[in-house]
Structure 1
């Protein structure tokens, strides 16, 4: 039971940033779509862009994707899934022990 609960908590920790990134993407998309659709409306004299919604969406998107990308990067590094470029760079950074 304890293992199942810990795995559920781990999945929830990964799902929350994914939902935040999705919400951020949708907020940015909606801000752009509303701006573009208002440009086509001839009855409006002044069309303004909703910067607050766009910036909040961008922030949510970057933080969510950054968290997920960092988690994948450190998991792969821990399991030695890093590519040959990364392994060569890590070997050069470590001093040789003789």
Structure 2
């Protein structure tokens, strides 16, 4: 059940990134979609969607790998060694 939930969580940012790529592609070929009336605005929205989807997907994978201790030294969280 946990793997199914993880898959569903990963599908949302993946779909966001795919929609962003589609919007940017449509901007390059001059196809305007209904909510946008200016091509550069559609391209900017596509770039934002793609970047947000990639950020969420990468963050989820990094969090999971940190939890399993499968990342290199530079991606590990630094610990504070202060004593009270």
TM-score range, shorter chain: 0.7 to 0.9
Given the superposition, is the C-alpha separation of residues 27 and 75 from structure 1 closer, same or farther in structure 2, using an over 3 Å criterion?
Answer: same
Q: State the match for 1:46 in structure 2.
A: none
Choose which of 3, 6, 9 in structure 2 pairs with 1:7. 3
Give the helix-richer structure, 1 or 2: 1
Q: Distance in 1 between matches of 2:75 and 2:15?
A: 30
Runs of 4+ in 1 over 2 A off after TM superposition: 6-10, 84-87
Q: Does residue 1:79 correspond to 2:55, yes or no?
A: no
What is the Cα deviation at residue 7 of structure 1? Answer: 3.4
Q: State the match for 1:24 in structure 2.
A: 20
User: Which segments of 5 or more consecutive residues in structure 2 lack a partner in the other structure?
Assistant: 32-37
What is the Cα deviation at residue 96 of structure 1? Answer: 7.3
What is the Cα deviation at residue 56 of structure 1? Answer: 1.3
Q: Does residue 1:70 correspond to 2:59, yes or no?
A: yes
What is the TM-score of this pair, normalised by structure 1? 0.64
What is the Cα deviation at residue 94 of structure 1? Answer: 3.2
What is the TM-score of this pair, normalised by structure 2? 0.73
- Count of matched residue positions in the alignment of Structure 1 and Structure 2: 77
